[in-house]
Amino acid sequence: MEYQNITLSIPKDLLRKVKHIAIEKQTSVSGLLSKMLADIVQREDSYVQARSRHLAILASGFDMGTQGRITWHRDDIHAR
């Protein structure tokens, strides 16, 4: 995998806290951010795939057991 350096500007107090978290997780700030960004991308990819599957289901319709024929009248269903 090829890597690309980036410049990131964050508040100093946030960076200090992130450094402590990275130390606790035995990684670097770069490693911590890389993992978090990879997780975000993975979740987004999963969402896009799920959305596509569900839109395909909606486009094809649902089998309601009628084989496309309506054998009742509205008045019969709503009769009181």
**Over its length of 80 residues, how does the chain's per-residue pLDDT go in tens digits?**
899 999 999 999 999 999 999 999 999 999 999 999 999 999 999 999 999 999 999 998 887 788 778 888 888 888 77
Q: How far apart are CA 5 and CA 33, in angstroms?
A: 12
Parse the chain into domains and list their residue ranges. Answer: 12-61
pLDDT at 5: 96
Sign of the alpha-carbon dihedral angle for 75, 77, 78, 80? positive
pLDDT at 1: 87
pLDDT at 7: 96
